Amino acid sequence: MTAAVGALCSVGYFLLALFGAAAFMRQGSPSADALTAPVSILKPLKGTDPEMYSSLRSHFTQNYPEYELIFGVSEAEDPALGIVERLRSEFPARTVRVVHCRQQLGANIKVSNLQQMVEHASHALLIVNDSDIRVPSDYVQRVTSPLADRNVGLVTCLYRGIAGGSIGSQLESLQISTDFCPGVLAARQLEGIRFGLGSTLAFRREDLDRIGGFGGLADYLADDYELGNRISGLGLSVHLSEVVVETSLPAYSLKEFVAHQLRWARTIRACRGNGYLGLVLTFGFFWALLTLLLSGGAGWAWLLLADVVGLRIAMALLIGRNLLGDRQLPRLLWLLPLRDLVAVVVWVGGFAGNRIYWRGEAFRLEAGKLVK
């Protein structure tokens, strides 16, 4: 029975993710004093995010000898600048630059801004992360240390999402902790990491120049994926840091959550078509439930459903709670069946066209690029 085969394949995927998590948790941390070269942190901004003050502040309080913060905005009146100026006043000794990015050099405004911001960077080591990312005080030290190995070209980080009060926000948090991050760990275990995550991209400026700079990424939606993929293409490895960072999620409605997931799904399909097809084998709850219905409630099908659900919950708790430190996860587990069924609908919807809405504008995705 096809549905039962799908459920068994999902069991294999869950086990792969668990083995991947165990291997990741066993990896040694780089020496704390392996690298102390000065660092430029680039943070493109557009509007404000939940908890933006505390997220940005965490970058001002790093235990690292020398680093600078470079913020970039497209509009001089961007409300995020008020938070930056408040932090500038709070930390007058910190080197801070604000770049007004007046040119639009591609469809992806964030990357367009990064291209203009990097011209103001003083240092050879660069860190880029999203504006909503909160980091620990030893973050810069720990994410740059692997770059002491010349065979490492990029360092990236897993992250956990702090949900707001809405069901859409809670489902988004579950998606990150119980689906997205397990998928990254499974990929690492199976073939290694050949991509970056927007939560952290730490790399050398010379390697950025070797792949053509940010300019070559300015029309891609998944710029983080593309940056990691191109640096990997230089023959350098992508290191998944043991540091887990944090993002505060907007109070998505259920409709907004589905729309966000659909955009993400179509982006993944555009970047990794075969990998996107393979996602059908990760929908264990759906396949086990379908098996139960098609078998007329047979005893073996109930046993299969129990095994799938038990393994799914074990994966969620080990990776989400233990590895990522997602303290909200245990009280959100009751939403996991809904999240898993919505994921199937979103996956199917990912095939229904290549149009997405991003930052209030409509685009077509062609080979991962944004086309108006």
For the residues of 202-264, what is the DSSP string, one character each?
EEEHHHHHHTTTGGGGTTBS-HHHHHHHHHHTTT-EEEEEEEEEEEEPP---HHHHHHHHHHH
Mean pLDDT of 316-337: 96
Mean pLDDT of 9-22: 97
The tokens for 340 are 């898993």
* Weakest-pLDDT range from 137-151, 289-303, 348-362: 348-362
Q: Rounded CA gap, 167 and 171, in Å? A: 6
Give the per-residue pLDDT at 265: 92
pLDDT at 10 over 80: yes
> Side by side, which strands form the sheet with 369-371?
355-358, 361-366, 369-371
Of 64, 69, 61, nearest to 43 (Cα)?
A: 69
Q: Could you tell me the fold of the domain covering 37-266?
A: Spore Coat Polysaccharide Biosynthesis Protein SpsA; Chain A (3.90.550)
Give the per-residue pLDDT at 369: 84
pLDDT at 17 over 90: yes
Beta bridge partners of 154: 203, 238
| H or E element at residue 22 | helix 2-26
Delimit the domains of the chain by residue range.
1-22+268-350, 37-266
Give the per-residue pLDDT at 145: 95
Residue 42: CB partners within 8 Å, gap ≥ 6? 70, 72, 114, 117, 118, 121, 126, 127, 128
Q: What is the CA radius of gyration of the chain?
A: 21
Q: Rounded CA gap, 369 and 360, in Å? A: 17
Mean pLDDT of 45-60: 94
pLDDT at 185 over 80: yes
Q: Rounded CA gap, 179 and 306, in Å? A: 19
* Strand 355-358 versus strand 237-248 pairing type: unpaired
The residue written with tokens 């229904």 in the block is 352
Q: Is the dihedral of CA 134, 169, 154, 69 positive or negative?
A: negative
pLDDT at 33 over 70: no
* Strand 95-100 versus strand 125-128 pairing type: unpaired
Give the per-residue pLDDT at 240: 98
The residue written with tokens 């991962």 in the block is 368
pLDDT at 115 over 70: yes
Mean pLDDT of 268-274: 84
* 357 against 303, higher pLDDT: 303
The residue written with tokens 């659909």 in the block is 262
Give the per-residue pLDDT at 34: 61
Give the per-residue pLDDT at 317: 97
pTM: 0.94
> Each residue of 237-267: pLDDT tens digit?
999 999 999 999 999 999 999 999 999 999 8
Strand segments (E) across the chain: 39-44, 67-73, 95-100, 125-128, 133-134, 152-162, 201-204, 237-248, 355-358, 361-366, 369-371
CB 238 within 8 A of CB 196: yes
* Strand 355-358 versus strand 361-366 pairing type: antiparallel
pLDDT at 233 over 90: yes
Query: If you average pLDDT over every residue of the chain, what do you get?
Result: 94
Mean pLDDT of 22-45: 83
Please report which confidence band the pLDDT of residue 79 belongs to, taking 50, 70 and 90 as the band edges.
very high
For the chain, give the percent of residues with pLDDT over 70: 97
CB 207 within 8 A of CB 121: no
Please report which confidence band the pLDDT of residue 29 belongs to, taking 50, 70 and 90 as the band edges.
low
Q: Is the dihedral of CA 97, 102, 104, 108 positive or negative?
A: positive
Please report which confidence band the pLDDT of residue 123 belongs to, taking 50, 70 and 90 as the band edges.
very high
Beta bridge partners of 100: 73
Tell how many helices (H) and how many strands (E) occur in the chain.
15, 11
Instruction: Show the CA angle centred on residue 12, arms to residues 10 and 13, nearest 5°.
Output: 65
pLDDT at 178 over 60: yes
Mean pLDDT of 29-50: 83
Please report which confidence band the pLDDT of residue 196 belongs to, taking 50, 70 and 90 as the band edges.
very high
pLDDT at 356 over 90: no
Give the per-residue pLDDT at 153: 98
pLDDT at 360 over 80: no
Q: Rounded CA gap, 95 and 267, in Å? A: 36
Task: Give Cα 348 to chain centroid, integer Å.
Answer: 22
Residue 269: CB partners within 8 Å, gap ≥ 6? 276, 350, 351
